[in-house]
Chains A and B, each alone.
Chain A
Amino acid sequence: EVQLVESGGGLVQPGRSLKLSCAASGFTFSNYYMAWVRQAPKKGLEWVATISTSGSRTYYPDSVKGRFTISRDNAKSSLYLQMNSLKSEDTATYYCARQTQPYFDYWGQGVMVTVSS
């Protein structure tokens, strides 16, 4: 059974940093692209980042480019999202998702990130 378990969320002040983690199990992690997708409270879904199987290629929307960094450790079956220079508009539930190009076939339970002073 595919499982994705996020951790690392919490309350952080604007301008500060936070790192999210996602522990994957139930599939061969190194064979799949992985992604982060977020959902602001009572809002829709927004793709945040994608990383290739080896980690050599990463993709971001303009809204987070230069501030967020996605990475992975295939030996640990883990995905990460380093978020810097956080803004109030980054407040959302962040989901780790397996990306079977071009869609997201499994999602974690999500982790809440609140950016507020």
Chain B
Amino acid sequence: EIILTQSPTIMAASLGEKITITCSASSSLSYMYWYQQKSGASPKLWVHRTSNLASGVPDRFSGSGSGTDFTLTIDPVEADDTATYFCQQSWNDPPTFGSGTKLEIK
């Protein structure tokens, strides 16, 4: 099973700031997927195949990475970005998720 380690676990950002969330995999992957989950809501697909934004996702978001290291960047951060972000891999069975990064806006 591939373990995905996200960092940081919690982060507080100021409006307009550039932030980066990291997802490190225990084995090399071809792609990474990202989900946004707001408090009390279900997850939403946010980024697919490492760098492709899902429909409706603002272009303030970007995804990148390869091998074992992947990132989700927000530039600039807006108040509506408050949420928990999860990475996910399906390269190896079973599909696994990272433990999440909670983003708070100062």
* Chain A interface helix/strand/loop/mixed: strand
Contact indicator B43/A95 (Cβ below 8 Å): yes
Contact indicator A47/B42 (Cβ below 8 Å): no
User: Number of A interface residues, CB 8 Å?
Assistant: 17
- State whether the Cβ of B95 lies closer than 8 Å to any Cβ in chain A: yes
Contact indicator B97/A44 (Cβ below 8 Å): yes
Bound-complex Cα distance A110 to B90 (A):
22
User: Number of B interface residues, CB 8 Å?
Assistant: 22
- State whether the Cβ of A117 lies closer than 8 Å to any Cβ in chain B: no
Contact indicator B42/A44 (Cβ below 8 Å): no
Bound-complex Cα distance A67 to B95 (A):
19
Contact indicator A107/B95 (Cβ below 8 Å): no
Bound-complex Cα distance A109 to B96 (A):
20
Contact indicator A95/B42 (Cβ below 8 Å): yes
